[in-house]
Structure 1
Amino acid sequence: MPTATPTREPGTRGVRLVFVLLALTVLSGMIDAVSYLGLGHVFTANMTGNVVVLGFAAAGAPGFSVPHSAASLAAFLLGAATGGRVAARFGGGARRRWMRATLAAEAALVAAAAVVALTRTGGTATTYTLIGLTAFAMGLRNANVRKLGVPDLTATTVLTTTLTGLVAESHLGDATRPRSPRRVAAVLALIAGAVLGAWLVLHQGLGVPLLVAAAVSGVLAVVTSGRE
């Protein structure tokens, strides 16, 4: 009598993909460390923060720039629109293929930013180039991560919803999901990326953390090429 093939529990499916998304969350912290600390207090990954910063700049708060924040937002939205088209073209049945393509593109864009940062002599053009490349890459990635629809990891650059769910559904809230390892891991991943990115910016400049982020994105593109 044939033995039925055991069905994996939902929580065990896509472990590799969960790892990839958590690693991307680490990279988001690094990218924002570069942009906020090195490009004039602008976020290129976390658009919630960037919109708030844009408001600060519009009000005339010192240390913030309307053009920088607006450029970041525009590049991010352009990247998101491009990512949406990529996802529509490849379709839901080939998620690894279009995720791999997206990560490869992100690696190339961030690598280009690293080259600019390592060879730059400063100036307005360099700043806008770095903002544009990194924000476009983050928009491209986020559009595709959203299409994946992985529970608790639908975004790799912002954690407001994640933190709300983590507490509201814990024992302190309605206790519907007292344990949420993915949410906890996502929070820790972003913090770890921010710490690492800030340390590298302060001690190595802007190019090194961007180069590290590009290399990791490239590795992740290879990791996603495996079978479902």
Structure 2
Amino acid sequence: MSAAEEASAAGARDPEVRGLRLVVVLLALTVVSGLIDAVSYLGLGRVFTANMTGNVVVLGFAAAGAPGFSVPHTATSLACFLLGAAAGGRVAAHVAAGSRRRWTRLTLAAEAVLVGASAAAAFTWPHTTGTRYALIALTAFAMGLRNATVRKLGVADLTTTTVLTMTLTGLAAESRLGDATSRRSPRRAAAVVAMFAGACLGAWLALHHGLGIPLLIAAAASGVLAVAASGRE
């Protein structure tokens, strides 16, 4: 065996190397989350369909009667997210450990279809109450399905692609200003940048071009990532 072949074989046995493609996929999915939350919060009545931490807080605002927030919209998002997560958990329970790439690919393909359907609704029936609820339900279900899958994958610092509180905590607490024990600061910083980039792009598109285009981009990205997630462990 040549030196190059030996290095390749060693890389194949290294879990960090084997998981590199998956890390890139999860970071890209974090960008998609930013896109979707920008659409939902700015275009669907101040409701999150990816970030459920924010959504619970928003539901509290709405329940207290704060202007500009809707209990039905937020409750719909939470319910559909939980249904999606339950579906993802049910599927995960029947997937063999050795087929996680296939399982991830199928989940992302389902996400692409769901978000694509929401984009089609946004283009076909814009500015209607039914469309608003359809977009909330479809994107929240897709995000719940994805989150359940990502959680089961158990990639360090990327166990969720929709919430950054613990990522930011780890980034600061384990930095040189904290206990200086971090070995994954680049990954954590990349997750924060990915979410920011997705939210910024999604907000700009939603404000200037409507909801259909950012949703279509999110669906296309999920489809591409479903292909990228394929391959051997």
TM range (shorter): over 0.9
1:35-114 → structure 2 map (5 Å cutoff):
35-114=40-119
Deviation of 1:14 after TM superposition, in Å, equals 1.1
Are 2:153 and 1:176 aligned?
no
Question: What percentage of residue pairs aligned between the two structures are identical?
Answer: 74
Q: Do 1:201 and 1:209's aligned partners in 2 also have CA atoms closer than 8 Å?
A: yes
**RMSD of the TM alignment (CA)?**
1.7
| TM-score between the two structures when normalised by the length of structure 2 | 0.94
1:165 aligns with 2:165: no
Given candidates 140, 148, 168, the residue that maps to 2:145 is: 140
Deviation, 1:85, is: 1.0
8 Å contact from structure 1 (residues 163, 183) kept in 2 = yes
CA distance in 2 between partners of 1:216 and 1:75 (Å): 22
- Tell me which amino acid in the other structure corresponds to 2:74: S
Deviation at 1:124, TM superposition (A): 1.8
Which residue type is aligned with residue 197 of structure 2? A
Distance 1:171 1:199, change over 3 A: same
Query: 110, 120, 128: which is aligned to 1:123?
Result: 128
Listed one character per residue, the Cα deviations across residues 126-176 of structure 1 (whole Å, up to 9, x for unaligned) are 111000000000000000000000011110000000000000011111111
Give the secondary-structure state (helix, strand or coil) at the position aligned to 2:105: helix
Runs of 4+ in 1 over 2 A off after TM superposition: 1-13
Q: Which among 217, 220, 224 is matched to residue 225 of structure 2?
A: 220
Query: Paired residues, what number?
Result: 228
* Residue type of the alignment partner of 1:223: A
Q: CA deviation at 1:12?
A: 2.7
1:169 and 1:104 map into 2 onto residues whose CA distance is 36
